[in-house]
Amino acid sequence: MIISDILRLEGIEVDLKSQTKEDVLIELVDLLEQAKMLDENKEIIRNAIFEREKLSSTGICDGLAIPHAKVSGIKSILGGIGISKQGIDFQALDKKVSKIFFILISPKEDHGNHVKALAKITKILKEESWREELMRCPGPQEVLDFIKDKEKNLV
């Protein structure tokens, strides 16, 4: 699983405008639409993300959240990244605000790659220095370059 392969520049935002959990979820789905990644109805994907979030927060810890869902009818894994400089209360496990958001939408039938993608994203962003470096990226191209570079360093 190569994370940089599921991203497009138009699906990366280094200055999210949202200030609430609900708004950031909407903004992240909008990024996927803006990147022309949504073959499926945008509302179906938005609803799947909200339903998954009702089960438990995808705010992990250390400022990272990975909202994700599996949806019938999509052909491949879709990903986008949003960065909030001020942070958003995402009901993370560690009670800290989330600043880095990686949205992941997978085909409902593709459980293996969904889990591999979640694990790889977590590996890339587990190092505090790497999260800090990502937060300093001035634009989408630098974010994509960062992800590509860090993927090379993973075993």
Alpha helices of the chain — where are they, by DSSP H? 21-34, 42-55, 111-124, 128-135, 140-152
Residue 2 resides in a domain: no
The CATH code of the domain that includes 87 is 3.40.930.10
Taking only the tens of pLDDT, the chain with its 155 residues reads: 899 999 999 999 999 999 999 999 999 999 999 999 886 578 999 999 999 999 999 999 999 999 999 998 888 899 999 999 999 999 999 999 999 999 999 999 988 999 999 999 999 998 899 999 999 999 999 999 999 999 987 75
Give 25: exposed, middle or buried? Use CB within 10 Å, 0-12, 13-18, 19+: buried
Residue 4 lies in a domain: no
Which residues form the domain of 82? 12-152
Residue (of 112, 118, 57, 113) closest to 90 by Cα position: 57
Asked if residue 5 is part of any domain, the answer here is no
By the 8 A CB rule, do 144 and 12 touch?
yes
Kindly state whether residue 3 falls inside one of the protein's structural domains: no
- How many domains does the chain divide into? 1
